[in-house]
């Protein structure tokens, strides 16, 4: 109480710290500074590579698109150089490709969860054969014997399920034409790989097969069972190879062409059970019997 009898008014702000104490954020003189929370360690090299090869973010997508373009460019290079005579610049190109493919192979092997299973996969074996086909001729100076093995690099594009799945998820057109695209890729790869085998098996002993173009011409004529007869394979091995190509042409090649232009199944989601693949002329869902409204040409 003051002399006038009024109560003393406390004008201290309500949020002020108690008298004689320091603010919570301040420290007493001589005390160590407050410690910051530890930063998260940077991701390991294996985690970073897995994110690039199998991730779904924008950075990984750009990297995967780059791999896809590199595969396509490599395949085109391997196919084009078969029509070109040996040149000094091909040696340097082989060295560069061997280094890049070896690094890619090593990275995929490093991030594989099961390396033994990865090495046993036929796509991995094909990539390894291609790398060896680029290195061995540099050491032996024999470009003809192993030249056809370079075409096996094309198998990587056909069986890159992750990259193709990425395109399928992001592009509706790929989803709608998935079967036709698969068949087209397999057909092109089969034609050029078979051509490479014919070329290597006949070149030098068959005057009718003087270039890769001759081998390609014979392969297409035989696969389509046209058989003009102006080029034939010589020797017992050549005759057996011709028989094999003709059998495969009847059993596989025609089927691939049919799948490209007239797929065996169409994609139409059943409103009742969700089944997606149906016959082109299906009226009812074969799983639940629901009536389907599939657009077709009426034939």
Give the CATH number, domain containing residue 255. Answer: 1.10.287.70
Q: Is the domain of 148 the same as that of 61?
A: yes
Q: Is the domain of 68 the same as that of 152?
A: yes
Does 27 map to a domain?
no
Q: Is the domain of 279 the same as that of 189?
A: no
Q: Is the domain of 161 the same as that of 65?
A: yes
Does 120 map to a domain?
yes
Q: How many Cβ atoms from other residues are within 10 Å of residue 17's Cβ?
A: 12
Q: Which long-range contacts (CB under 8 A, 24 or more apart) does 54-58 make?
A: 54/111, 54/162, 56/166
Total domain count for the chain? 3
Q: Is the domain of 58 the same as that of 159?
A: yes
Q: What is the pLDDT of residue 143?
A: 55
Q: Is the domain of 226 the same as that of 242?
A: yes
Q: What is the pLDDT of residue 295?
A: 66
Q: What is the pLDDT of residue 102?
A: 92
Q: What is the pLDDT of residue 99?
A: 92
Q: What is the pLDDT of residue 7?
A: 46
Q: Is the domain of 214 the same as that of 297?
A: no
57 near 170, Cβ under 8 Å? Answer: no
Q: What is the pLDDT of residue 148?
A: 58
> Which of helix, strand or coil describes residue 114?
coil
Does 216 map to a domain?
yes
Q: What is the pLDDT of residue 124?
A: 83
Does 80 map to a domain?
yes
Q: Is the domain of 206 the same as that of 122?
A: no
Q: What is the pLDDT of residue 163?
A: 60
- Which residue range(s) make up the domain with 56? 44-165
Q: Is the domain of 210 the same as that of 295?
A: no
Q: What is the pLDDT along the chain (299 residues), one digit of tens a residue?
A: 444 444 444 555 555 545 544 455 545 555 555 566 666 667 788 888 988 888 878 888 888 888 888 877 887 787 777 666 566 777 788 889 889 989 999 999 999 988 889 888 877 887 888 888 788 777 766 555 555 555 556 566 555 555 666 667 677 777 777 777 777 777 887 888 788 788 878 888 889 888 778 888 999 888 887 878 888 899 898 899 989 888 888 877 777 777 777 666 767 778 778 776 776 667 778 778 777 766 665 55
Does 32 map to a domain?
no
Q: What is the pLDDT of residue 22?
A: 47
> Which of 165, 198, 226 is the C-terminal boundary of a domain?
165
Does 145 map to a domain?
yes
Does 293 map to a domain?
yes
Burial of 221 (0-12, 13-18, 19+ CB in 10 A): middle
Length of the chain counted residue by residue: 299
Which H helix or E strand runs over 277?
strand 277-278
Does 36 map to a domain?
no
Q: Is the domain of 119 the same as that of 223?
A: no
Q: Name the packing angle between helices 235-248 and 212-223 (round to 10°).
A: 50
> Which of 165, 190, 217 is the C-terminal boundary of a domain?
165
Q: Is the domain of 210 the same as that of 294?
A: no
Q: Is the domain of 270 the same as that of 283?
A: yes
């Amino acid at each position: 109480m003051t002399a006038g009898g009024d109560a003393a008014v406390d004008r201290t702000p309500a949020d002020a710290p108690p008298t004689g104490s320091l603010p919570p954020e301040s420290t007493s003189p001589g005390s160590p500074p407050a410690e910051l929370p530890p930063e998260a360690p940077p991701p390991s090299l294996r985690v970073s590579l897995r994110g690039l090869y199998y991730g779904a973010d924008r950075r990984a997508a750009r990297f995967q698109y780059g791999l896809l373009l590199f595969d396509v460019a490599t395949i085109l290079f391997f196919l084009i150089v078969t029509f070109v005579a040996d040149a000094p610049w091909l040696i340097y190109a082989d060295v560069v490709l061997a280094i890049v493919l070896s690094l890619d192979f090593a990275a995929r092997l490093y991030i594989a969860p099961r390396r033994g299973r990865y090495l046993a996969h036929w796509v991995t074996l094909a990539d390894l054969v291609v790398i060896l086909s680029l290195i061995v001729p540099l050491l032996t100076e024999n470009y003809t014997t192993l030249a056809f093995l370079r075409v096996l690099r094309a198998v990587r594009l056909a069986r890159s399920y992750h990259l193709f799945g990425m395109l399928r998820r992001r592009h509706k057109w790929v989803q709608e034409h998935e079967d036709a695209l698969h068949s087209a890729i397999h057909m092109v790869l089969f034609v050029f790989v078979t051509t490479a085998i014919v070329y290597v098996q006949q070149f030098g002993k068959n005057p009718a097969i003087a270039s890769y173009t001759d081998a390609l011409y014979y392969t297409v004529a035989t696969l389509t069972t046209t058989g003009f007869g102006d080029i034939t394979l010589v020797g017992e091995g050549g005759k057996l190879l011709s028989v094999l190509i003709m059998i495969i042409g009847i059993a596989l090649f025609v089927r691939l062409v049919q799948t490209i232009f007239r797929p065996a199944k169409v994609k139409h989601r059943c409103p009742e059970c969700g089944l997606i693949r149906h016959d082109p002329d299906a009226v009812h869902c074969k799983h639940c019997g629901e009536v389907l409204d599939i657009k077709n040409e009426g034939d």
